[in-house]
Every structure is written in C-alpha cells, then in structure tokens.
Chain A
Amino acid sequence: MAFSGRSNKRATPGVKDASTGVPGPAASDPWEEQRRRDRADIERFLAGDTDGFEQLMNRNRQPAYGIALGLTGNHDDAMDAVQKSFLRIHRSLAKFRLDEPFFPWMYRIVRNTALNQRRDEKRHQGDLPLEWVTRPDEAPDALETTEANDLRQRLAAAIAELPVEMREVFVMYHFQGLKYREIADAMGIPLGTVMSRLHAARLRLRPAAGLEEAP
C-alpha cells in the first residue's frame, strides 16, 4: 500500500471519483504490491538484516500514526502507541505468515495498543488534529479565516465524538484513503458493515459540517 499524492491519503488502482460516484476498474488485489514489498523487507529482517525492519516500519509509520491518532486523539499518545506497537511487531514478526498482507496485521496491533493506551492514560483530548489541505467547494474561501478554523474544529470535535467503530472506519476511508474492501480486511468485518458504519458516521457529522441542521 504505497501512499502518494496527499501525504496521508492514498492513491489506489481502481480508485473511483468520490464526487461523481463513477466506479473505476476494480483492483484485482489491492494488497499485492504492498504485500510484495513488505514480504521482501520481512524476509530481509528474518535473515538478520535490521534495515529490513526499519524500511518496513518507515513505510508504514504514517498509516500506523493515523490509526493511533484516530483512536487516542492526541499526538503524544499516538506516537507512544506507534512505538509500543513497533516493538511488539519486532518481537512477533517471526510468527507473521508471509502469504498474508502485513497491513491488516499491523493495523490490529496498533489498534489494540492505541485502545489500551487510551484507556490507561485517560487523557484522551477529544479533538483530532485536522488541517485543511485543499479548498473544497463547501469550505470557506480563505482557509485560515476564523470561519474555516471554526469549521475544522467543529468537525474534529464531532469526529472525536463518534463511537470508536464508526470513527475507525471514517478515518480509514477519508484520511487514509483505504477502500471499503481494504477496511473490511484490516478490521476483519464484512463489507456491508463498513458501508453502514461509514454512512452512519457521515450522517452524524453532517450537522457539524454545516450541511444539515442538527436534529
């Protein structure tokens, strides 16, 4: 899973245009390229080359950070959770099955670690650190205006208030650029559950986005 373009949003073969709803060509196996590179690095690491581990983790660190940030809600706890996760991965990598994609495995470790971290530290700060990267039609014209900042803060607070299972799906789709199938694989849930959680999350967030009056 190579991340490109916008730093934490991924370009994927078969991406569909979110604004038109027109499906692109289906990706036969979205994990294949990532799996090949991960497998090569893991094999290097298991053969005694520590650079293999660092390369594997450096390639996956921002996605891991995004997962942890979505769950802990603040930078320090997210970095701490990523670090603990990477140490767990280092200890467990020998047990990893090379015919499986690495990302879902890593995702589960980071998720579990971040949830434990959040529970242990009890200092979840609520608002996600969001930032504008482009000016969408619905955003205020000047991204640094008070209005834009208010909108960003309202959305961040509303995302942080989502139930954790909705927030995970929302963050993975909108901020990490994963497709429904990839989210389902990573979380080990049916595709229909991804669909319903994402839809429910959007309905809950619309009032904060100023697109609908709160009920």
Chain B
Amino acid sequence: MSNPAPFDPVRDAPLLSAYVDGELEPADVARVEAHLRQDAEARAEVERLRAFNRLAAGLQLREAPAEDWEKFWESAYNRAERSVGWILFGAGLLVAGAYGLWLVAAAVFGSALPMLVKAAVMAVATGLLVLLLSVVRERVFTKRRTRYDDIVR
C-alpha cells in the first residue's frame, strides 16, 4: 500500500475548498487534516473559506417574479407561432418570386427590346428577388455559428 502524496500548498489548495464543502473522499479528508495539523496558515485559510461560505449562504439570486412566469408561456407560444409564420412566408416568397422571375424573363426575352435593355430588366428583377430573400433568410434561417451554438447529444 503506497503512501499518499504529500500535500502541496500551491497545487493542492483547491482541496481546502472541497474540504470545507465536505466534497472530499475520505482518503483526501485524512490527507488534508494531516496537513492542517502541521500548518497554521492552512488552518487560517480554512477558516477564511468557511467565513466566505457563511456569507455566500446568506445570498441568493433573485428569482423571476411569479407574474413574469404567468406571461412566459403565452409569449413562448406567440414566439413559436411567429417562427412558423416566418418560415411559411419565406417559403412562399421563394416560390412566388421564382415564378415571377420566370414570367419576367419570358416576357423580356420574347420581346423585341435591345439585348442591353433585356439584361438590365433581368438584373433589376433578379436583384430585387435576391434582396427580398436575403431579408427573409436573415430573419428566419441565419444560424449564428459559434463554438457554443451546436447542441448535440
């Protein structure tokens, strides 16, 4: 049976917090207590940690008011409905826009207009459609990609 590693005041300092919190395994409790018997500064540190814990025990995060929770579900349902609405709106706009663009293209290229004018009309129609889709995509589909964003199990 090997002896436990000696307590290193720097490396093992977090053990004092865990000791005060009662979160150590029995072997580590024995190791910390053996060190405390020999080190007055460590005993003083334990007292400071206990004093801090007593202070923190008197504080809590303020809870959300009950009336806010009453409104919570109603606005959650509204939010969910609006997301569905935006998705439907975006999909409809995509189909209708594509069809409109096709109609414009058919009318323009079937006419006797000069090629430069045909190209300009198509550029305007396509640009308008792209701008509309961009606004909708930004609102509905934009995913903010950060290292925190993906939630996968």
Interface residues of A (CB under 8 A from B): 6-9, 15-24, 54, 61-62, 65-66, 69-70, 75, 78-79, 82-84, 86-88, 90, 92, 95-97, 100, 105, 108-109, 111-112, 115-116, 119-120, 128-139, 152, 155, 171, 173-175, 179-180, 192, 195-196, 198-200, 202, 205-206, 209, 211-212
Complex-state Cα separation, A6 to B60, whole angstroms: 9
Instruction: Tell me which residues across on chain B come within 8 A of A22, comparing CB atoms.
Output: 22
- Asked if residues A23 and B57 are in contact (CB atoms below 8 Å), the reply is no
21 contacts between A and B (CB under 8 A): A16-B21, A17-B22, A18-B21, A18-B50, A18-B54, A19-B53, A19-B54, A21-B20, A69-B61, A79-B64, A83-B79, A92-B151, A112-B148, A116-B149, A131-B60, A137-B51, A137-B54, A175-B60, A195-B14, A211-B48, A212-B48
Q: Is B15 part of the binding interface, using a Cβ–Cβ cutoff of 8 Å? A: yes
- Asked if residues A130 and B151 are in contact (CB atoms below 8 Å), the reply is no
A54 to chain B, nearest CB (A): 7
Q: Annotate B68-84 by CB proximity to A: 1 below 8 A, 0 otherwise.
A: 11001101100110010
Q: Is B140 part of the binding interface, using a Cβ–Cβ cutoff of 8 Å? A: no
Known A-B contacts: A69-B61, A128-B61. Give 18 more (CB < 8 A).
A7-B63, A8-B61, A61-B72, A75-B68, A83-B79, A87-B76, A90-B80, A111-B148, A112-B149, A112-B151, A116-B148, A116-B149, A136-B55, A136-B57, A138-B51, A175-B61, A179-B23, A195-B18
Query: Which secondary structure dominates chain B's binding surface?
Result: helix
Q: Which residue of A lies closest to B23 (CB)?
A: A180
Q: Which residue of B lies closest to A82 (CB)?
A: B72
- Asked if residues B63 and A198 are in contact (CB atoms below 8 Å), the reply is no
Q: Is B95 part of the binding interface, using a Cβ–Cβ cutoff of 8 Å? A: no
The interface centre, meaning the residue of B26, B29, B51, B146 with most chain A CB atoms within 10 A of its CB, is B51
Known: A18-B20, A21-B22. Contact between A9 and B60, CB under 8 A?
yes
How many of chain B's residues have a CB under 8 angstroms from any CB in A?
48
Q: Is B13 part of the binding interface, using a Cβ–Cβ cutoff of 8 Å? A: yes
B18 to chain A, nearest CB (A): 5
- Asked if residues A119 and B146 are in contact (CB atoms below 8 Å), the reply is yes
Q: Which residue of A lies closest to B15 (CB)?
A: A195
Q: Is B19 part of the binding interface, using a Cβ–Cβ cutoff of 8 Å? A: yes
- Asked if residues A18 and B55 are in contact (CB atoms below 8 Å), the reply is no
Q: Is B126 part of the binding interface, using a Cβ–Cβ cutoff of 8 Å? A: no
Instruction: Tell me which residues across on chain A come within 8 A of B29, comparing CB atoms.
Output: 23
Complex-state Cα separation, A198 to B146, whole angstroms: 26
Q: Is B37 part of the binding interface, using a Cβ–Cβ cutoff of 8 Å? A: no
Among candidates A109, A132, A138, A196, residue contacting B54 with C-beta atoms closer than 8 Å: A138
